[in-house]
Amino acid sequence: MKRQTRREFLKSIGYAAASGGTLSILSSCESVGQLAASKKRPNIILIMADDHASHALSCYESKINKTPNLDRLAEEGVLFKNCFCTNSICAPSRAVILTGKYSHINGVTDNTKKFDSTQQTFPKLLQKAGYETAIVGKWQLKTDPTGFDYWNIFPGQGLYYNPVMTEMGNRKKYTGYVTDIITDNCLRWLKERNHDKPFCLLYYHKAPHRKWGPAPKHLTMYDDVTIPEPQTLFDDYSNRGKAAKEQEMTIEKALNNKDLKLVTPSNLTNEQKKLWIAAYGPKNEEFRKADLKGKELVRWKYQRYIKDYLRCVASIDDNVGRLLDYLDKSGLANNTIVIYTSDQGFFLGDHGWFDKRFMYEQSLRMPLLVRYPKEIKAGLVNEDIVLNLDFAPTFMDFAGIETPADIQGQSIRKLLQGTKPADWRTSMYYHYYEYPAVHMVKRHYGVRTQRYKLIRFYYDIDEWELYDLQKDPDELKNVYDDPAYADVVKELKAELKQLRTKFKDTTGSPV
């Protein structure tokens, strides 16, 4: 093959000066290589919230809040209606995202497991290929991050107010509100990073995880309104099995006084405490006097819970706006892929619950917004089934790295471009493992297609559930034993078996 001159090489990578002759600024092959990298390969910013359900984003037709800055990503990029997680709980979903492999392969089947940090991850692969990599915020995988040039994370869950963070192994206490602090650190890193390289930043929020601590400036947001209740707030779990009936995650019984802000958090500064007491004190006084019972008490708890949750979301929305403004001002917006997602969904009073874990819709679905002006048309909506498993191979694809054969997801790049590969998946496989544990959601696995969902609760009980999502989008009637669905059950069992074989899952029972 003919060796390229430097001029030809620069022209081939689209460097404008190549035809103008002003090449003397490039003094070495290394700087040519770095320039090639920074010009051609996109930067990646993966923004992940913790427990942010898609039905609390206005671009997903939320009936309860507005998220103007997050909506910008949908308006300027692609909104995925059917992005699902493969195991709806924090650490497991994070491990799936990092590795592109199911929980039974990456080892983090539940929140008690330590992540084996010697294994292959997408940040490691990007770093090896010349990317500058960083993670700031919630990590939660129990071992120190590997594959990052910079990391600054919370020990464990982190705190909403005045959190401690571990920066490259050194503990540091910050004063202020968690979502602002994470964003400040991301913006600082973006300014200080090695500007010769493309970068990948994991901007990982703590919010809106339990116990939903709002920023001081949002403490009284929604005070004058009543948030609409979900239709299933008073679900009685009839027509479903033991798992839905025997969980411990109802708004009625499982929220404690800290969740409900009936006690003041212990780690506030004097100024924060003053604002906190001014916001909650009079409302708590009124609540105690009212002596609510039964459904009225549940309604009050729902309002208290959902307002605090949405206040946390409001801070994320504000801070994502700060980040997007920085990308505009710094000229990075066009060549940076910005993704917004959450490690899983969440029940926002749906079925009377908070938390996640179940394969039911509100928990299974993740918000997924992707903006990349250089390649993606604005305003697309996609309804194909995509998974948290697909993030790693998508990043490989955009970075021009060959995807290792052991990665189990598929790149969504074609979907982002508005075309659908002929072999795109028509079903997804799910497996949840944490029981007995907080919230007592029984272990299960299952398969979801565009229309149906078949779930098997196997380890702790042996029960099957089938939902016809077209006729019963709220999943209120298990039709597994309905003879009209006998063929559907048979087909889905075969599909479940095939997926378990394909993804090498031998845990649980064979179908």
Q: Which residues bind Ca ion (CB under 5 A)?
A: 50-51, 90, 343
Q: How far is the CB of 90 from Ca ion (least distance, A)?
A: 4
C-beta of 157 vs 507, nearer to Ca ion: 157
Nearer to Ca ion, 50 or 318 (CB): 50
Quickly tell me which residue has 């080892």 as its tokens: 107
Q: In this structure, what token pair is assigned to residue 128? A: 């090896």
Q: Which is nearer to Ca ion, 186 or 207 (CB)?
A: 207
Q: How far is the CB of 139 from Ca ion (least distance, A)?
A: 12
Neighbours of 264 (CB within 10 A): 14
Comparing CB distances to Ca ion, the nearer of 342 and 427 is: 342
**DSSP tag of 332:** -
Residue nearest to Ca ion (CB): 90
Residue 501: which residues within 8 A CB-CB, separation 6 or more?
none
Based on CB atoms, which residue is closest to Ca ion, 198 or 214?
A: 214
Provide the minimum distance between the beta carbon of 208 and Ca ion in the complex, in angstroms, as a whole number.
9
Residue 221: CB minimum distance to Ca ion, A: 23
User: Helix H segments across 407-462?
Assistant: 413-416
| Residue 361 contacts residue 475 (beta carbons within 8 Å) | yes
Closer of 234 and 435 to Ca ion (Cβ): 435
Query: What is the DSSP secondary-structure string of 464-476?
Result: EEEEETTT-TT--
Structure letter (DSSP) for residue 352: G
Q: Which is nearer to Ca ion, 318 or 343 (CB)?
A: 343
The nearest distance, CB 346 to Ca ion, in angstroms, is: 8
Residue number with CB closer to Ca ion (341 or 478)? 341
- Containing 390, the helix (H) or strand (E) segment is none
46 or 90: CB nearest Ca ion: 90
Largest alpha-carbon pair distance within the chain?
86
Query: CA–CA distance from 250 to each of 233, 311, 356, 361, 437 (Å)?
Result: 9, 21, 11, 17, 15
In degrees and rounded to multiples of 5, residue 372 shows phi and psi of -155, 85
SS3 336: strand
User: What span, in angstroms and rounded, lies between the C-alpha atoms of 363 and 97?
Assistant: 17
Q: What is the dihedral of CA 254, 256, 261, 264, to 10 degrees?
A: -160
Q: How far apart are alpha carbons 180 and 403 in whole angstroms?
A: 35
Cβ 204 vs Cβ 138: under 8 Å? yes
Task: Please name the residue ranges forming H helices in 155-293.
Answer: 178-192, 242-246, 270-290
- In whole angstroms, give the CA distance from residue 396 to residue 402: 7
CA 359/CA 363 separation, integer angstroms: 6
CB of 287 to Ca ion, least distance (A): 28
* Minimum CB distance to Ca ion, residue 367 (Å): 12
Least distance CB 206 / Ca ion (angstroms):
10
Q: Which is nearer to Ca ion, 366 or 488 (CB)?
A: 366
Minimum distance of Ca ion from residue 278's CB (angstroms): 30
Strand intervals (E) in 383-422: 386-387
Query: How many whole angstroms from its chain centre is CA 448?
Result: 19
Q: Residue 16 or residue 438: which is nearer to Ca ion going by CB?
A: 438
For residue 212, the minimal CB distance to Ca ion (Å) is 13
Min dist. Cβ of residue 291 to Ca ion (A): 35
Could you identify the residue written with the tokens 């544990």? 437
8 Å CB contact between 199 and 131 = yes
